[in-house]
Chains A and B, each alone.
Chain A
Amino acid sequence: MFQRRRSLTSWLWVGPALLILAGYLVYPVIVTVYESLMNSSLSRFVGLDNYIWAFTTESPLLALRNNLFWIIVGTTATVGFGLVFAVLADRVRFESAAKAAIFMPMAISFVGAGVIWKFMYDWQPPGIPQIGLLNAMLSTIGGWAAANHVVLLWIGAIAGVVALVTFLIALVRVRTFLLSALAIIIFPLAILGVGWLASAVQAVSEITPSDLALLVVVIQLVLALAAVVSFIYAMMHDTWGQISIVGAVIAALCLGLLYLASFQPVTWLQNETTNNWALVAVYVWIWTGFCLVVLSAALKGVDAEILEASRVDGANEFQVFAQVLVPMISTTILVVATTMIINILKVFDVVYVMTSGNFNTDVIANALYFQAFHFEDFGRGAALAVILLAAVVPVMLFNIRRFREEEGMR
């Protein structure tokens, strides 16, 4: 009896929400599932034809592939930046101003954001003044780098050698198995990289852009690896590691500048190697603020005493972050990541406003919109919407497992 009354009370708490959701979201979903089995004008039952179309035709498949790319890059970037910035901002005095800067894009209406990024990505033929900031900036820097390429090569080479040597010294001083193993991989690569650099310096007048590009890729790969390892090492308070980082950063900077020496203005939104990245960048710019604010709210709930206790116990800041802070707000991180995956799954505005899905940038929600409202094929549009709904199932299953664990813990 008591149990039943308790159960009845809980329905009163969740009831209003469920009623509204049933009317506004569940009912349209049912209608859509029904429509997805009908022909374009919804007059005849066609079974699974619309789904077969979606999984065998080039354009919806491309949209599916692009969605996958969006989910991987977009979720990682928004949640990652949001988390790191929430932790960093937590330690500065101007926290709310810094957070406001990241949050601001969220407050801009979507049409406004479209105009903003027009000013970033705009392209004009070479020779005409660039209106887009990105092309203008890179052209200017490239021109400067081309004029000073000899100096840049030498500074880059010296900094690279310094980075390498200090990195090796740091390595020798650590003598752990892991780092030695890494060194075995890194060392030949580093030699190779310096060899390339040396030959490049010799042939300074006849460098072709593609040679430079390859050189940059190889050396930056080496330096990135070296930087990651030495970064961890520097975290353990070693001067050599810190010098190595500075050297690597300077070298990478010089090589990056040299690469820009042959820069031609890029049509960011039409060029098929850059456009999906360019669109995701806009999305990340907007949505990092969401992740930041929610994760920051969670961070404020972490008891300062626990952090202090682990610091007293000798943990450095990086360990506090990775071993105390992140596990303590892991549920919130999962919630934010889930929300972002779902939001990105149905990404529409960015793509619609900036490319309308042209130039191989189509995503499902955009394809859905065009099928239903431009080509007036309601059956296909509905099928794409149902596919979108189905795609969320694995994410939800992962969440259920997580709830169960949580339930067991408390």
Chain B
Amino acid sequence: MSDSTTHPQMKVRPEARPAQPAAREEEHPRLDAARLVHVLLQAPLNIIVVAVSLLWLLPTAGLLVSSFRPAQAISQSGWWTALVPPYHFVLDNYIQVLTANGMGQGFINSLIITIPGTILPILIGSFAAYGFAWMNFPGRDWIFIVVVGLLVVPIQMTLIPILQLYNTLHLTGTFPGVWLAHTAYGLPLAVYLLRNFFQSLPKDLFESARLDGATERQIFFRIVIPLSVPALASLTIFQFLWVWNDLLVALIYLGGDPRVAPMTVTVSNLVNSYGSNYQVLTAAAFISMLLPLVVFFSLQQYFARGLLAGSIKG
């Protein structure tokens, strides 16, 4: 919020101010008309937002319809042709995915991998982001730049050296091995995004807290974390779904062991064992999408305006 003092000043038109009280008085009797005008002005906005949303959903709708069609029909006619009678929807694709060997275990494994794989990088990342944003130590800016620069490292580049390391440390095929890998791959973005949000908190807050004798730990847990909830929520959503949908890291570091394989690996085995039968992917994509969407909607409430409102003036 440090920007608030520097934002470009709006020119105040001299005649605008005196007109203000008059407008206030008129407001009351005209309430209904004003509401009508408001609704009419909102209409184009609503139409644009709805239109863009529908456009964005169109490809996914195609996938949804296709997931209920028999394999043969998918490759012979467009998915939209299924929307006119005679309807011919089947659950084959879903049944095939849900009854596949090890799917239940895969779901549990996915959860075991994803929950620590989401919490760890955000926790460790927010510690580091706090250090980079509000502490002074030699080389701080350069170290931070290197951390952000590591975003560009392609995961494929790290696989072989890390796998060799894992084999000597006996971390291959274990959950902690995958947790740490996901933590490492998620950290640069977490540190970068969170430092930006922590930095934008008002400086006075930290100064007065430190003057009151608060320790860094207290400042972090009682001030920084509660005020950064929208940022933490958005990061949680993404880290969650990246780990949840990950196939590469799981394949390499967990190997083929079905006892630890997440859902993505089970599904990919299913597709391979049926040859080029990609139609099971349509159903699998929807099943695996459900949980990230639940996370998204349940974190929506933290995207509320005004979380900072009380703190700035305080």
Residue ranges of A at the interface with B (Cβ–Cβ < 8 Å): 6-7, 9-11, 13-14, 16-18, 20-21, 23-29, 31-32, 85, 88-89, 91-92, 94, 96-113, 115-117, 119-120, 129-133, 136, 285, 288, 290, 293-294, 296-298, 300-306, 309-310, 312-315, 319, 323-324, 327-328, 330-332, 335, 338-339, 342-343, 345-346, 348, 365, 368-369, 372-373, 382, 385, 388-389, 391-393, 396, 399-400, 403, 406, 409-410
Contacts and interface: CB of A to CB of B under 8 A. Distances in A.
B130 interface: yes
7 contacts: A24-B185, A100-B296, A129-B77, A298-B230, A301-B197, A324-B8, A396-B148
A300 B303 contact: yes
Contacts of A20: 124, 180, 183-184, 187
Interface stretch (B59-67, B84-92, B101-109): B59-67
Contacts of B199: 331, 406
A109 B63 contact: no
B13 interface: yes
A14 B54 CA distance: 43
B136 A365 contact: no
A132 to B, nearest CB: 7
Contacts of A85: 49, 52
B78 A389 contact: no
Given A24-B180, A131-B78, A324-B10, A16 B300 contact: no
Contacts of A9: 135, 216
A119 B77 CA distance: 10
A300 B63 contact: no
Nearest to B245: A109
B200 interface: yes
B192 A306 contact: no
Nearest to A289: B56
A314 B124 contact: no
A119 B63 contact: yes
For chain B, the bracket of interface size reads 35 or more
Interface of B: 1-4, 6-8, 10-13, 16, 20, 42, 45-46, 48-50, 52-54, 56-60, 62-63, 66, 75-81, 124-125, 127-128, 130-132, 135-138, 140-141, 143-154, 156-158, 161-162, 165, 180-181, 183-185, 187-189, 191-193, 196-197, 199-200, 203, 216, 230-231, 233-234, 237-238, 241, 245, 247, 264, 268, 271, 278, 281-282, 284-286, 288-289, 292-293, 296-297, 300, 303-309, 312
Main secondary structure of the interface of A (DSSP, over half): helix
5 nearest A-B residue pairs (beta carbon): A112-B285, A24-B184, A13-B131, A17-B128, A101-B53
B135 to A, nearest CB: 4
A313 B13 contact: yes
A406 B132 CA distance: 13
Nearest to A336: B193
